[in-house]
């Protein structure tokens, strides 16, 4: 028995990357994992997860977090089929670099729609049921980018990831008496398709160089693995974490630690 046995978790953006890592760990810890994604790849990812991990339980739905009607329908359908949702992980996100001089509106809209409005839509769909039942665990995937640090060309992404902290805290204070917690995870660099794309945008000729340099700049000398975010998310989703709410937790291999690159070296 894991510490999420009997719980049902809906995870957005679960077809790949961090969302898939979170789904894997939560399923290993006993949760019934409702994997959702805009991409139909989510069905194959859920099938493979069930194949590779003995005894885990998953369900998969195609869901675009930017479409409130679609989110509401999937939540209704999932709850009708699998019972009440206890856990929501707002993980779906996009990250594209943009020149500060352009402040491209299309790119701004895409980031705001997926990263902020998407999280809003999902909370709106699950919160009434959680408040009625006096139980809920809400986890939002922010980033160290925005709230703590920022590399160049990240204006659209960084803005959204900082916004999620206010969003998470506002939910935390309004739902604390309902036995609902709301917390934000702030990852550093994790090896996912998103980071592969960032490396390709940065140096189309040699993305591996970018990945190697990122790893070199992190005190633990590597990028994170999606399952490592999964362990943190699973803890925040457990009953043991009942006293943690409105928190922002960094998971970055120490990447935000160095104050200079010279002192004491
Ligand atoms: N990888 C990192 O280093 C890193 C660091 C900090 C924060 N994060 C955050 O972690 C989360 C996951 O990142 P990742 O690196 O796994 O990204 P990824 O691009 O590898 O995977 C993101 C998933 O979200 C899905 N998605 C995109 N738009 C969607 C939409 N409108 N509706 C539903 N699903 C949608 C994609 O199809 C994909 O499966 C994001 O919120 C990201 O900002 C990642």
pLDDT per residue as tens digits for the range 182-208: 999 999 999 999 999 999 999 999 999
Q: Measured from the CB, is residue 189 less than 6 Å from ligand 1?
A: yes
Annotated catalytic residue 178: no
As a whole number, mean pLDDT of residues 38-47 equals 98
Please check the confidence at residue 55 and state whether its pLDDT lies above 90. Answer: yes
pLDDT per residue as tens digits for the range 223-265: 999 999 999 999 999 999 999 999 999 999 999 999 988 999 8
Q: Measured from the CB, is residue 153 less than 6 Å from ligand 1?
A: no
Percent of the chain with pLDDT over 70: 100
CA of 240 to the centre of ligand 1 (A): 27
Whole-angstrom Cα Rg for the chain = 18
- Identify the bridge partners of residue 259 per DSSP, sorted by sequence position: none
Q: Measured from the CB, is residue 196 less than 6 Å from ligand 1?
A: no
Provide the pLDDT confidence category of residue 60 given band limits of 50, 70 and 90. Answer: very high
For residues 17 and 190, the answer to whether their CB atoms sit within 8 Å is yes
Q: Distance between alpha carbon 182 and the CA centroid of its chain, in Å?
A: 13
pLDDT per residue as tens digits for the range 88-125: 999 999 999 999 999 999 999 999 999 999 999 999 99
pLDDT given at position 265: 86
User: Which atom, in ligand 1's list, is nearest to the CA of 226?
Assistant: 16
Q: Measured from the CB, is residue 18 less than 6 Å from ligand 1?
A: yes
Within 8 A by CB and 6+ apart from 47, the residues are 60
Buried b (16+ CB within 10 A) or exposed e, 96-128: bbbeeeeeeeebeebbbbbbbbbbbbbbebbbe
Q: Measured from the CB, is residue 39 less than 6 Å from ligand 1?
A: yes
CA of 192 to the centre of ligand 1 (A): 8
Please check the confidence at residue 159 and state whether its pLDDT lies above 80. Answer: yes
Q: Whose CA is nearest to atom 9 of ligand 1?
A: 141
With vertex at residue 165, the alpha carbon angle to CA 164 and CA 171, rounded to the nearest 5 degrees, is 85
Q: Measured from the CB, is residue 193 less than 6 Å from ligand 1?
A: yes
Q: Which residue has the tokens 């990357």?
A: 17
Considering 135, 157, 231, 243, which one is annotated as catalytic? Answer: 157
Rounded to two decimals, the pTM is 0.98
For residues 201 and 97, the answer to whether their CB atoms sit within 8 Å is yes
Q: Whose CA is nearest to atom 32 of ligand 1?
A: 64
- Asked which of 10-24, 74-88, 251-265 is least confident by mean pLDDT, the reply is 251-265
Average pLDDT, the chain: 97
Q: Measured from the CB, is residue 137 less than 6 Å from ligand 1?
A: no
For residues 177 and 134, the answer to whether their CB atoms sit within 8 Å is no
**DSSP H helices in the chain:** 17-28, 41-52, 68-82, 105-111, 118-133, 155-175, 193-202, 207-217, 226-236
Mutate to test the pocket of ligand 1, among 19, 40, 194 (most ligand atoms within 8 A of CB): 194
Q: Whose CA is nearest to atom 24 of ligand 1?
A: 13
Interaxial angle between packed helices 118-133 and 155-175, expressed in degrees from 0 to 180 and rounded to the nearest 10:
10
Provide the pLDDT confidence category of residue 1 given band limits of 50, 70 and 90. Answer: low
Mutate to test the pocket of ligand 1, among 151, 188, 192, 223 (most ligand atoms within 8 A of CB): 192
pLDDT given at position 202: 95
CA of 88 to the centre of ligand 1 (A): 15
pLDDT given at position 48: 98
Structure tokens at 213: 């340099």
């Amino acid at each position: 028995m894991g510490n999420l046995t009997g719980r049902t978790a809906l995870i957005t953006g679960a077809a790949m990357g961090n969302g898939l890592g979170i789904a894997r760990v939560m399923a290993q810890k006993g949760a019934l994992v409702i994997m959702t994604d805009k991409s139909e790849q989510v069905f194959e990812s859920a099938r493979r997860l069930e194949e590779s991990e003995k005894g885990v339980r998953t369900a998969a739905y195609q869901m675009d977090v930017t479409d409130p009607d679609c989110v509401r329908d999937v939540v209704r359908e999932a709850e009708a089929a699998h019972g009440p949702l206890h856990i929501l992980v707002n993980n779906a996100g996009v990250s594209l670099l943009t020149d500060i001089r352009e402040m491209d509106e299309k790119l701004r809209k895409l980031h705001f729609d997926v990263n902020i409005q998407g999280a809003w839509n999902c909370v709106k769909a699950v919160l009434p049921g959680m408040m009625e039942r006096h139980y809920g665990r809400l986890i939002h995937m922010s980033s160290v980018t925005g709230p703590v640090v920022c590399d160049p060309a990240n204006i659209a992404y960084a803005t959204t990831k900082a916004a999620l902290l206010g969003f998470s805290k506002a939910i935390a204070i309004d739902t604390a008496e309902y036995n609902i917690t709301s917390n934000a995870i702030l990852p550093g660099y994790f090896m996912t398709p998103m980071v592969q794309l960032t490396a390709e945008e940065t140096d189309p000729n040699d993305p591996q160089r970018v990945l190697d340099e990122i790893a070199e700049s992190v005190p633990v000398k590597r990028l994170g693995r999606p399952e490592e975010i999964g362990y943190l998310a699973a803890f925040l989703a457990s009953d043991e974490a009942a006293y943690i709410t409105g928190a922002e937790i960094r998971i970055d291999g120490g990447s935000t630690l160095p104050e200079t690159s010279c002192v004491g070296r």
